[in-house]
Amino acid sequence: MTDTFHARPATGAPGTIRQPKIAVIGGSLTGPVVALLLLQAGFDDVAVYEATPATANLTGGLIGLEHAALDVLDRLGIGQDEFVAHDSETIWQIPVRHRRPAARVRRVYPGRNTTWTLLHTALARRLPAGLLHTAHRVTGLNAPTGQPALHFTNGHTATCDLVVFADGRSSAGRRLLDPDRVLRYAGYIAHRGHAHLRAPGLRDFLRLEPGPGCQYNVAPVPGGLDWTFYLNASPAEYTDRFGAPPTRRVFALPQHVSPAARAHVDTRAQQLLPAEHAATVHATATRMAVPVMDIDPPTRMVWPLGRGHAVLLGDALAPVRPHTARGANNGIEQAAGLVAALTQHRKYRADLDAALHGWQRRHLPDAVAAVHQGPAIGARLGLGTTTGDTTR
């Protein structure tokens, strides 16, 4: 039986205001979290719009969730047994020299690892029927009558009081609300794969560092191993291997991975990684690639729009480099804070502008810090355009 949330009648002080109409853009992870939190808080006029025909896709890999984000999911009734296959908190950091691992250092991650597929499935099964509208790609946003109006490529228009853009790093909302902040290619690629191999005894996250200009991460997931191999590449090299520039093809799906791209990764694995890990890469049939991107730090999260508002959160607000492990965490934590602010407005007549800007004041500094953290980590690893590539 599918678990769903049912909106509760509005409760609170006698002066409780009317229910706002809320449109959530994005059906991946952060969008469903926002929607479920809103429903749990008693908001009963919520719709989720997703650009793709179906929200399930192949772009997601391993995700680290810290305790604050895990607590939000717990409050939604999503137990970790649904999306955490291995409850290890251990990260082994392993220098590699001449394809041989050196003394490993144990670190403890303040959270748990999951995968996009596991977490998305747990969230999607709780969305009430009719809440999610797929194949709705946003093309415009205005307020011709004072109420925010969304326009979609399929010709549909939706009016609302609040638009919540949680539509990922290629966000239509960011292009509409904050168009001067554009993605920039950082000069390296996260090559990714799921190997259908058994790894008896492996429960932990391994981070191998063969030297400047590369890093290899691998962890057990249901059905095998999930790996990410970071390698420097110029924009021209990315274009040649994946068929489009990195700023245009921000996810290279399996059909975009050329034989040349596969051969390059296999060669680098053979040159840099211990034999067992090179064999894992070679044995992986289906692969993807994600160009690592940067963006200017955000200066705001909230925009007035007629009599309503629009907000950005998660990767729509500020995509961060994967080394920070803050992408999903930022989105989930910001979602919880947003719903708390909206609840204070609905139940206790808190001034909405003040509530939204209070939410912004609380979460914006952490988003900015994560944007700055990514290039700093990349520089330490010799990854990116500002660092010399000594391993290509």
Listed by start position, the domains of the chain span 22-82+116-182+296-379, 90-110+184-294
Q: What is the crossing angle of helices 116-124 and 30-40, to 10°?
A: 30
What φ, ψ does residue 292 adopt, rounded to 5°?
-75, 130
* Interval 159-196: pLDDT, tens: 999 999 999 999 999 999 999 999 999 999 999 999 99
| Residue 200, pLDDT score | 79
pLDDT (0 to 100) of residue 198? 82
Looking at residue 11, what is its pLDDT? 39
Dump pLDDT digits (tens) for 32-49: 999 999 999 999 999 999
- What is the Cα–Cα distance from 332 to 366, expressed in whole angstroms? 13
What pTM, to 2 d.p., does this model score? 0.91
Task: Please check the confidence at residue 288 and state whether its pLDDT lies above 70.
Answer: yes
Would you say domain 90-110+184-294 falls under CATH 3.30.9.60?
Answer: yes
Among 30-34, 51-55, 63-67, 77-81, the range scoring the smallest mean pLDDT is 51-55
Answer whether 359's CB lies under 8 Å from 337's CB: yes
Q: Are 215 and 384 in contact (CB under 8 A)?
A: no
Which CATH superfamily does the domain covering 22-82+116-182+296-379 fall into? FAD/NAD(P)-binding domain (3.50.50.60)
Least confident of 50-54, 242-246, 297-301, 309-313: 50-54
* Residues contacting residue 365 through CB under 8 Å, at least 6 positions apart: none
Instruction: Read off the pLDDT band of 60 (50, 70, 90).
Output: low
For 94, phi and psi rounded to 5 degrees? -125, 105
- Band the pLDDT of 201: cuts 50, 70, 90: confident
How many helices (H) does the chain have, and how many strands (E)?
9, 19
Give the list of residues 6+ apart from residue 311 with CB closer than 8 angstroms, or none: 162, 163, 164, 165, 301, 302, 303, 338, 356
The upper half-sphere exposure of residue 109, i.e. CA atoms within 13 Å in the direction of its Cβ, equals: 24
Is the predicted pLDDT of residue 13 greater than 80, yes or no? no
Q: What angle do CA 26, 135, 165 make, to 5 degrees?
A: 20
Residue 221 is which amino acid? V
Q: What is the mean pLDDT of the chain?
A: 92
Distance CA 293, CA 270 (A): 26
